Each structure stands twice: as structure tokens, then as C-alpha cells.
Amino acid sequence: MIRYIFRRIPSFVIVVALASIVAFLLPRLAPGDPAVQMAGPDATTEQVDAIRHAAGLDLPLVTQYLNWVGGIFHGDLGTSFSYHRPVSELIAASMESSFELAIFAAIIMVVLALVLGVLGGTQLRKTSRTVLDVINTAMIAMPAFLVGLILIVVFGIVLRVLPISGQVNLSENFAEGIKYLILPAIALALGQAAVIARLLQTSMLTTRGEEFVDLATAKGASPARITFRHVLPASLNTAIVALGLRIGELLGGAIVIEAIFSRSGLGQLAVQAVNSRDYFLVQALVIGAVMIAVLSQLTSELVTAAVDPRVRLDG
Amino acid sequence: MSVALAAVRRKNINPTLRRYLQALRFPRGIGGLILLVILVASALLAPLLFPGGYDQQTSDSLQGLSLAHPFGTDELGRDIFARSLFGLRTDLSIIVVAVPLGMVTGTVIGMLGALSPLAGNIFQRVLDVILGFPGIILGVCVVLVMGAGWASLVVAIAISSLPTFGRLSRAAMLSQSQREYVIAARTLGVSRATIITRHILPNAIDPILVAGTVFVVAAIFIEAGLSIIGLGIQPPQPSLGSLLNSATRFISQSPTYIVGPTVVLFLLALSFSLISDALNRSVNRP
């Protein structure tokens, strides 16, 4: 197992390192000088130079990059140009909203994926299977923002049962906060859950053809026991891997969902940072998103390897 | 359409084209195509239908759905139906440029990668990095460099399509290059460039084309996503995504605002997924 972990780490490090270079270079490729922007329209050349020097932007690119990466390990992400506050402080302020959304959406995603997947992986009558397939396909085909818009129309405008814009942090008022979370979290989770459910369904149906399932049937195990004790554990592999990939997608989708439901989370912060060319803020957010995406991918691979020795032994 | 179908039946056209046209024999293929033709036609005819263009302001702002304004009016009293059709034009113009661009670049990258192991490894790492940027974040990075607008949407969509096409073409290339006909051509002394373009490419193109039609749907959603967060097409020019952006801002005053753009977006995505599904079935027929 440990050997497997060590084998997987280099590619993870390479992707994160390359992504950090991309995240670092991108804002600097853009035309325009942030120091001039920060200094305002009436600033003298000396003032602009002073600002540039204070932000370390007059150093060679390689030095700037190394300073930034070195800072990350000390928890120093630089200072935002537009807010004049440390980037780590800004991120911390927006983090609660985004994390609540992501975690709530991830819970819905896992539960829904399991329910739909197990349901699809059991023997069903033809009509029930068709209905399930249609629901599943529709869910896969719709992007999160479309689901979000439909939910807004149905639950926020026609039925008027749930709030459709704004947020209340769970730490302030749990019951009220959940109400604000339900629609965006469902919007975010639905499509991703359908993808995982589809994979789980396929692998469960394949597993049902295996001999150990026949053996269990022959021994007189109940259908429920066969499904949950024999078929499901042997079919979770692909679903777990997909889960890791989907968490990254969840993150990307969250930016748009936050905009639609007017939640002020990390996504909104990122949009503002891009609009104001806030180098350090953008860098930190991009590399953070990439790291979470790649880490969740790695974690799911490790979990798969831990569950199934075939994975860690070959290749 | 019926002419095309008749030609298919008479079997007197190019066999490759015939295989693709057979997608029209599936109900979903013909349905998707009809839907797409209607959408494209109304997008092309938009300047004729609405000579005033997409920026014609009136005093009736934020009206609901009515006969005069099928999709209602927006915050400046502009007809949302007209704006949706012009928005559809924007979306189609992005798709027409971005998807083929990504398809060609990705295919070339994948094939070069299959030719030399070193180049292949480098390209795979690059594609891994692209895949590491989840969803819309890649687009956000492109906007950061190029500024929001049509061009950065095209680039963002093309770049995010590279992993799909790069991997598909590399896989196709590797599997085809061991086939007898390639070995035969090589033995006959045909040059490597000719083998790739004249022999391998026609046999490897099917999955790439199908993936292309599938990716159009993704492209539509990338445009919409970036425009919804305000980093796509900028006002006053409409796109389906930028219409949704303003619609969400006025959602409590005029809930019906989002209906029109959502319907058009949905139909556009639906038409391409129906076509890609039919195409996939027709090329994979035994």
C-alpha cells in the first residue's frame, strides 16, 4: 500500500507544480500594469514605482515565483491589490459559505448516487427501468446552472417555499442557513450524482453475473443481503474513482451556482479578483482549486487501492 | 432532407458520407437535425425578423410573457425574444469557430504524441494539467489573460476540448498503426505523412467526429457558465449566457425573464445531443 502511495505521488506533484506555474504566469501575461491601477489615475511615476516595489513586482519573475511558493508553505499568500488585505484573510472570510455549499452538495451527491445506483443495479421491471433511465439521462444532460434556474423558478417563484438568493451562515443560524443551502446544493449535486449512479449501476449489473453471486443465491441469501453484502461492495470501485473526479467538477460548478443564487463565496471572490486583476488573490484561488481537485482524485485512487488489492498490485 | 435520404437509399454517394447520413434514419437523428435547422435558420434570419436589432429600447420594461413579446421584455424594455435570437447567433458563432479549432488542434497534438514517445509524454502531461483545472476555472484563467469577450470564450472552449480530442486521436492512431493495411502501405514505401493523412486518419476520424458533436453541448455550457458569472460576452451584446446573467439579477422583479433564454439554450443543447447520439449509433453499427 505504502509503495503504491509513493508511486502515485510524483504525478500528483508534477501536475500541481505545473499548475502553480500556470497560475503564477497567467495574470502576468495579461496586458496592463497592476501597480499603475493600484496607484490611481493621478499617481506620479515614483509613487507607482514605490507600489511596485512594495508588492515585489519589480523582482525577476523567477524570484517572484519562488517567493510566492515559499510564502505558501508559511501560510503567507501575499496581499490583495484591490482589497489591501492579506489574501489568506479574504479567503478565510469567504470560505465558510463555499465550504458549507460544497459539503452539503457532496452529501446530497453521495446519497443520491447510492440510492439511484443501487436502484438501477437491482433487477427491475422493464417500465421501472425505462423511467429510471430517462430520469438519469436527463440529470446527466443538464448542467448545474440549468438545474439551478429550474429550481429557482419552481421552488422560489411558483411555490415560494425556499429562498432563492443570498445566504445565512450555518454558524449563525443553522435552521435558516440550511434553507438557503438546499436549492444551490441540489443544483450542484444532481448532475454529478447521476454520473456516479450510472457507473455504479453498470458495475453492479456486471457483478451480478459473477459466480459468487450465484453461490450466495444458491445458499439461500435474501435478495437484499445479496445486493448489499455481496454485489455492492464488489461494485464500488469505479464509483469511488468517479467520486474523486466529481468533487473537482463540483468546485468548478460552484462558481456559477454562487453567482446564480447570489451567495458571496470563493467563486464570487474569484470573479472579482479576475475583474480587478488581483494577481495574488487569483493565483491563490486557482492553485487552491487545482489542489483540491487533484487531491480528491488522488484520495479516491488510494481508497480504491485500499479496498481492492488488484489495483495496487498491477501497473 | 428527403433528397439526401433518397440519395442514401440509391447508394450513389461517397460511402463515408453515406455512413454519416445514415444517422438520419434514427428518429432522434432526424429530430435533432430538424431542431438544429430551425434554430440556425431563426438565428440567421434574426436581423430580418427584428430590423431594429437587439438593442431596441421601449418604455415597457420587465414585462411578462405576452403575444407582443413572447419571452417578455428586459430591464430596458428590450424584447427578450429578439435578444434570445441574437444571443443564439453569438453562441452559434462561438461554436462554429471554437469546436473545429479544438478538434483539429487536439487531433494534431494526439497524433504527434503517437509518433514520438517523448512528444507523447510531454503532451500527456500538458493535457493532465488542463484536466487538473476543474470545469469553468480554466475559462476563468483564459479571461484573466485575454479579457472577457468572444475571443476568450473561443480560446477557453478550444483549450478545454484538447484533452478529449488529444487522447482520442492518440488512442486511434496507436491502434490503427498496427493494422495490416498500415504495415502493407509502409512496406510499399509510402511516406509517413501520406500513411497518416490518407490511410490512418480516415479510419480514426469516427470517434473524433462523434466526440466533436458531444463536445458542442459542453461548449454551449461553458459559454453560458462564463457569461453567467459575468466573464463572458459583455452587454449590450447578447448571448444566451449573458441573458441568463441579467435574468438572474432581475429574478425577483421579473421571474419570467429567465424562461426565454433557458428554453433556447435547452433546445440548442438538446439538438446537438440528439444528433451526436444518432451519429454514434450509425458509425458503431456492425
Rg for chain B, CA atoms, rounded: 22
Strand partners, B73: B79
> Is A54 a member of any domain?
no
Contact A170, A98 (CB under 8 A): no
d(CA A284, CA A86): 11
pLDDT of B9 higher than 70: no
Q: Are A16 and A291 in contact (CB under 8 A)?
A: yes
Answer whether 0.80 is exceeded by the pTM: yes
Residue B274, C-alpha cell as written in the block: 440528439
Task: Residue A205: name the closest of A119, A127, A139 by CA.
Answer: A119
SS3 B266: helix
Residues A25, A311 contacting (CB under 8 angstroms)? no
Identify the pLDDT of residue A315.
Answer: 46
Cβ pair B144:A18 closer than 8 A? no
Which pLDDT belongs to residue A149? 85
Instruction: Please tell me if residue A133 touches chain B, with a CB cutoff of 8 Å.
Output: no
Note the pLDDT tens digit of each residue in A127-137: 888 888 888 87
> Residue B79 forms beta bridges with which residues?
B73
Q: Which residue of B has its CA nearest to A245?
A: B134
What's the CA gap between A161 and A179, in Å, rounded? Answer: 9
Phi, psi of A206 (to 5 degrees): -70, -45
Subunit contact B255:A157, Cβ cutoff 8 A: yes
List the domain range (segments joined by +) for residue A17.
2-31+77-314
A94 part of a folded domain: yes
Q: Is A281:B166 a contact under the CB 8 Å cutoff?
A: no
By CB neighbour count within 10 A (0-12 exposed, 13-18 middle, 19+ buried), where does A263 fall?
buried
Q: Report in angstroms the alpha-carbon separations of B17 from B23, B204, B275.
A: 10, 15, 15
What backbone phi and psi angles, to 5 degrees, belong to A97?
Answer: -55, -50
Average pLDDT, chain B: 87
Identify the residue whose cell numbers are 438538446: B270
Nearest to B140 by CA among A259, A91, A15: A259
Cell of B177: 498503426
Q: Is A23 on the interface with B (CB under 8 A)?
A: yes
Q: Nearest CA to CA, how far is A176 from chain B (Å)?
A: 20
Give the Cα-Cα-Cα angle B70, B74, B79 (nearest 5 degrees): 40
Q: How far apart are CA B35 and CA A80, in angstroms?
A: 48
Residue B162 confidence (pLDDT) = 94
Q: Which residues does A17 contact at the CB level (< 8 Å), separation at least 6?
A: none
**Half-sphere exposure at residue A268, Cβ-oriented, CA atoms within 13 angstroms:** 16
**CATH number for the domain including A97?**
1.10.3720.10
To probe the interface with A, which of B28, B133, B242 has the most A CB atoms within 10 Å? B133
How confident is the model at residue B173, as a pLDDT?
86
The residue among B11 and A256 whose pLDDT is bigger is A256
Q: Which residue from B129, B136, B265 is facing A255, i.e. has the nearest CB?
A: B136
Interface list for A 64-123 with B (CB within 8 A): none
On whether residue A41 sits in a domain, the answer given is no
pLDDT of residue A286: 86
Cα distances (angstroms) measured from residue B82 to each of B38, B49, B57, B68: 15, 8, 12, 11
Residue B149 to residue A69: CA distance in whole angstroms: 31
B184-208: pLDDT as tens digits: 998 999 888 888 888 888 888 888 9
What average pLDDT does the segment B84-104 reach? 95
Q: Is residue A67 part of a domain?
A: no
Q: What is the dihedral of CA A35, A36, A41, A47, to 10 degrees?
A: 60
Extract the C-alpha cell encoding A136.
Answer: 438519469
The answer as to whether A181 is a domain residue is yes
Q: Total domain count for chain A?
A: 1
pLDDT tens for B117-157 read 888 888 888 888 888 787 788 888 888 888 889 999 999 99
Residue from B120, B159, B119, B124 nearest B138 by CA: B159
pLDDT at residue B2 greater than cutoff 60: no
Cell numbers describing residue B79: 424584447
Distance CA B35, CA B44 (A): 14
Task: Specify whether the CB–CB gap between A247 and A292 falls below 8 A.
Answer: yes
Angle in degrees, 0-180, between the axes of helices A87-120 and A126-141, rounded to the nearest 10: 160
- Average pLDDT score over residue span B215-234: 91
Q: How far is CA B63 from CA A153, A271, B60, B216, in A?
A: 16, 30, 6, 33
Q: Does the pLDDT at position B11 exceed 60?
A: no
Distance (Å) from the alpha carbon of B247 to chain A's nearest alpha carbon: 9
Which residues neighbour A102 within 8 Å (Cβ) at sequence distance 6 or greater?
A188, A250, A251, A254
Sorted by sequence, the CB contacts under 8 Å of residue B178 that are 6+ apart come out as none
Write down the mean pLDDT value for chain A.
84
Residues 201 through 260 of chain A touching chain B, CB cutoff 8 Å: 248-249, 251-253, 255-256, 259-260
- Under an 8 A CB cutoff, do A149 and B146 touch? no
Which residue type occupies B241? G
* Sign of the dihedral defined by the CA atoms of residues B136, B142, B145, B147, in that order: negative
* Rounded Cα–Cα distance for residues B145 and A62 (Å): 19
- The highest-confidence range among A49-53, A176-180, B50-54, B242-246, by mean pLDDT, is B242-246
On the CB side of A222, CA atoms within 13 Å amount to 3
| Interface test with chain A among B248, B257, B258, B266, by most A beta carbons within 10 Å | B248
What structural domains and CATH numbers belong to chain B? 38-47+84-283 (1.10.3720.10)
Backbone angles phi, psi at A79, to 5 degrees: -115, 135
Residue A47 placed within a domain: no
Tell me what pLDDT residue A35 has. 74
Tell whether A204 is covered by a domain: yes
Whole-number pLDDT of residue A311: 66
Q: What is the pLDDT along chain A (315 residues), one digit of tens a residue?
A: 777 778 878 878 888 888 888 888 887 887 777 777 777 777 778 888 887 787 777 788 888 888 888 888 887 888 887 788 888 888 888 888 888 898 999 999 999 999 999 988 887 788 888 888 888 878 887 888 888 888 888 887 788 888 877 888 877 888 888 888 999 999 999 988 998 998 898 889 888 888 888 999 899 888 888 888 888 888 888 788 888 878 878 888 888 898 888 888 888 888 888 888 787 888 888 888 888 888 888 888 888 777 766 666 654
Say if CB B258 and CB B74 are below 8 A apart: no
What SS3 state is found at A169? coil
A116 within some domain: yes
Q: Residue A212: what are its φ and ψ, rounded to 5°? A: -65, -25
With a CB cutoff of 8 Å and minimum separation 6, the contacts of A238 are A199, A200, A202, A203
Q: Do B132 and A143 touch (CB under 8 A)?
A: no
Tell me whether residues B125 and A14 touch, CB distance under 8 A.
yes
State residue B286's pLDDT score: 56
Nearest residue of B to residue A30, measured between CA atoms: B145
Q: What residue in B sits closest to A21 (Cα-Cα)?
A: B129
Contacts of A123 (CB under 8 A, 6+ apart): A208
